[in-house]
Amino acid sequence: MKDETIQQRPDSSLIPHTPSLSADDSSFVASPSSVSSVPPSSFSSELAAIRDQGLYRVRRRLQSAQGARIRWRGREFLNFSSNDYLNLAADPRLARAAVRAARRYGVGAGASPLISGLSPPLRRLERELAGWEETETALVFSSGFAANLGVIGALAGPDDAVLSDAYNHASLIDGCRLSKARVHVYRHADVHHLDELLRREGPSARRRLIVTDSIFSMDGDEAPLREIMELAREHDALVVLDEAHATGVLGEKGRGLAELLLGEDVFSGRLIRIGTLSKALGSQGGFVCGSRPLIELLVNRCRPYIYSTALAPPCAAAARRAVALVQAEPNRRQHLLGLAGVLRARLQDLGFASTRSQCHIVPVIVGEATEAMELSARLADRGLLVPAIRPPSVPEGTSRLRISLMAGHTEEDVERLVLELKRSRY
């Protein structure tokens, strides 16, 4: 489980950015004198410092598919680490769709969609996404990270103001920095601070973008989306909304927090919705849904789209099948959210510290990074995989266990988790 957010400092100062080398900057040629040699010993000392802070990370070598139960180191574990929220990553129906596409169209896309074209599975996926989201069209990226990075960079520039929630995902933060816009960070979910910054910084900007996650991946809480949309109307701003952890899970049709909270406002031209195919939908990739002019602008200006190989046909076919299942099987998300309610109530009864989570991501606040790692290790010894999340993904002193529930879990699984947490915390 990767740590997914990098905390920003909420204040009115600009986020520094480093100008990137453009495709047209052909005058720069590296010379021997401009390239410094970094001795390997410096890497070792950096790694030692990371270990000393309890922040060293390793990649887990799985021996099974994703699911509510996985195999690692020859043992079965109850898995509370995955973003496969609807338990679709290993669903045989997605696998069959991928196999059919691979047999007919191959396993690779060849090049950028602007070079080698869109495969039939990818064309169909974009049509299905637009139909599901009830927008004119959609655009699929190779990852959700690329979608966030590219959308902000395509819509904002040096003459624009971007206002970013302090707890946004790293991909949104990097998109803000690389856009070269004037970026201002507002305190997490604080619409009063956002309003203050819009009033002070907005009038001089060509375009104003409010950038936020819908569900914040480390806290499980919701963005105050209704209030944000009101401010967007008042200040003539666009809202870039990353629905990565809400796609497939929230809303009557599983379209995310915007569907759940906004009603008809979900179709506002001010709202730019970004989703992922890599979490609840069990496949790979990211997408943007919106008007035809928006999508055409992204096709022409979005560098991560223009310069990346298109999504592979098997992934596109699997994602298309998942979109159909999300609509046909609402019981998956209903069961998932029901389990989350049970877990939050049980943790509260036992006095565990948590956050304002209202969804399927349920944190348990531990405190120091070493303590969180030790608690995670004790749970692993008992056959439960619950990742510890540490700085810089969360603020200092708030290291935690991040419990990710899945539709494949049962109430008995939740009770076992609660029991082992109670045994392991001392």
Q: What is the pLDDT of residues 195-217, one digit of tens each?
A: 999 999 999 999 999 999 999 99
pLDDT for res 5 = 47
Give pTM, 2 decimals. 0.89
194 and 145 within one domain: yes
Indicate the residue among 306, 328, 350 that finishes a domain: 328
Q: Is 36 within the bounds of a domain?
A: no
Active site residue 245: yes
205 and 146 within one domain: yes
* Closest by CA position to 82, among listed 107, 65, 95: 65
Catalytic residue among 81, 179, 217, 278: 217
233 and 103 within one domain: yes
336 and 239 within one domain: no
Domain range enclosing 213:
92-328
Q: What DSSP string describes 16-56?
A: P--PPPPTT-TT----GGGSPPPPHHHHHHHHHHHHHTT--
Q: Is 392 within the bounds of a domain?
A: yes
* Closest by CA position to 281, among listed 127, 1, 93: 93
Contact 375, 366 (CB under 8 A): yes
415 and 380 within one domain: yes
Active site residue 217: yes
Active site residue 33: no
Which tens digit of pLDDT belongs to each residue from 329-352? 999 999 999 999 999 999 999 999
Quote the number of domains for the chain.
Answer: 2
Q: Is 18 within the bounds of a domain?
A: no
Catalytic residue among 184, 193, 235, 245: 245
- Greatest pairwise CA separation for the chain in angstroms: 64
311 and 398 within one domain: no
The yes-or-no verdict on residue 267 having pLDDT over 90 is no
Catalytic residue among 169, 188, 193, 279: 279
Asked which of 13-17, 235-239, 421-425 is least confident by mean pLDDT, the reply is: 13-17
Helix (H, G, I), strand (E, B), or coil: what is residue 59? coil
Indicate the residue among 308, 328, 348 that finishes a domain: 328
Contact 194, 172 (CB under 8 A): no
Indicate the residue among 283, 304, 328 that finishes a domain: 328
Residues 279, 76: Cα–Cα separation, whole Å: 22
Cα–Cα distances in Å, from 183 out to 173, 212, 240? 9, 13, 14
Q: For position 338, which CATH number holds?
A: 3.90.1150.10
* Closest by CA position to 143, among listed 238, 244, 59, 250: 244
172 and 64 within one domain: no
